[in-house]
Copies of this chain bind each other. A is one copy, B any other.
Amino acid sequence: MIENVYDDEVPNVVEIKETIIETPTVKTFIFPWNITDDIHPGQFVMVWDLHNEKPMTISIIDRENNLMGITIRKAGPFTENMYDNMDVGDLIGIRGPYGHGYELDGYKKVLAVGGGSGIASLAPLTSFYDNVELISASSCADELVFNKRFDSDVVVHKCTDDGSCGFKGFSTQLAEELLQTGEYDVIVGCGPEIMSYKLYELSIKYDVDCQLALDRYMKCGLGICGQCCIDDTGLRVCVEGPVFNKNQLRELGEFGKYRRDASGSIVKY
C-alpha cells in the first residue's frame, strides 16, 4: 500500500532553463526539478506543452544542480512544436517520473544500445553505473545525439547507417560484433521497436540478459487507463515498464509485431 493517496499530482509547470540543439531533428530541454533518490534512468515523465501531453523519457538526471532534461525527436505535431517553438523561458508542465527503469546492479559489463533519440533513455545510466558501454546509432553523422555529452571515461561506440561516423551499419550489427567478444552479460536498449526486437533476439543467441525500453501510446501514466497494456500478459508500459526484462519480454506476444493507437485499435509494425 502506498502512502500518498491524496497527493495532488497535476503537472508541475516549470520554466525551461536551457535547450540544446542536438541534431537537425533532436533537441534537449533542461528544467529545474527536485531530483530525489527514487528517480532512476529509464523512467519517463508526462510533458505538457500547455495544450497536449506526451510521455518522454528522462535524458538528464542532474542531482547536483537539481535539473532534469528530456530529449525529443521531431516525429509529429507535438514534438515539432517543441523543437521549433519552445525555448529558454518557456513553460512546460511535468508530472512523474513514472514507470520502472533499468536495473543494472550485479552485472559485470553492460552493453547499452540507443537507436537515434533512444540514447536519451540510456545516457543517464553513465552517471548511475560505471560498467556501461554505449552504442549510439543513427542514420548519419549529423543525426548522432549527445556527441559531446559524455565524459572521456565513458566508452561510446558510434554507429551510422551510412558510415559517416563510426561503425558503418545498423546498431544491431555492431551490437552483435561486440557481444561476440563475450565481455557483456546484459544488453539494454532503447530505440525503434524493430531494433529492440533484434536486440532481444541477440540476447537469446548470445545467452545474455536483456532489458529493453518499449514505447506505447499513453494517456494517464498512472496505470489505470489501460492504453499501454501489452499483449499477452497485459503488463502496463507506464508501471511495469517502460523497461522490461528478458522474462517479461518473452511473454510479450505483441513485441516487435504490433502496437495500439489512441483508440486501442491494433496497428501492425
A residues bordering B, Cβ < 8 Å?
5-6
Copies in the complex: 2
User: Majority SS of interface residues in chain A?
Assistant: loop
Q: Closest residue to A5 on the B side, CB-wise?
A: B6
A193 to B5, CA, bound (A): 45
A5 to B5, CA, bound (A): 12
Instruction: List, in ascending order, chain B residues with CB within 8 A of A6's CB.
Output: 5-6
A240 to B6, CA, bound (A): 28
Taking the closest CB of chain B, its distance from the CB of A196, in whole angstroms, is: 41
A221 to B154, CA, bound (A): 63
A6 to B5, CA, bound (A): 9
A203 to B228, CA, bound (A): 72
- Which 2 pairs from chain A and chain B are nearest by CB? A6-B6, A5-B6
Q: Closest residue to A4 on the B side, CB-wise?
A: B6
A155 to B6, CA, bound (A): 50
Taking the closest CB of chain B, its distance from the CB of A129, in whole angstroms, is: 36
A5 to B4, CA, bound (A): 12
Instruction: List, in ascending order, chain B residues with CB within 8 A of A5's CB.
Output: 6
Taking the closest CB of chain B, its distance from the CB of A6, in whole angstroms, is: 4
A153 to B6, CA, bound (A): 49
Taking the closest CB of chain B, its distance from the CB of A5, in whole angstroms, is: 7
Q: Closest residue to A7 on the B side, CB-wise?
A: B6
A6 to B6, CA, bound (A): 7
A5 to B6, CA, bound (A): 9
Taking the closest CB of chain B, its distance from the CB of A156, in whole angstroms, is: 46
Taking the closest CB of chain B, its distance from the CB of A114, in whole angstroms, is: 42
Q: Closest residue to A6 on the B side, CB-wise?
A: B6
2 A-B residue pairs with Cβ-Cβ distance under 8 Å, sorted by A, are A5-B6, A6-B6
Taking the closest CB of chain B, its distance from the CB of A11, in whole angstroms, is: 21
A6 to B8, CA, bound (A): 12
A39 to B5, CA, bound (A): 27
A29 to B46, CA, bound (A): 55
Taking the closest CB of chain B, its distance from the CB of A3, in whole angstroms, is: 11
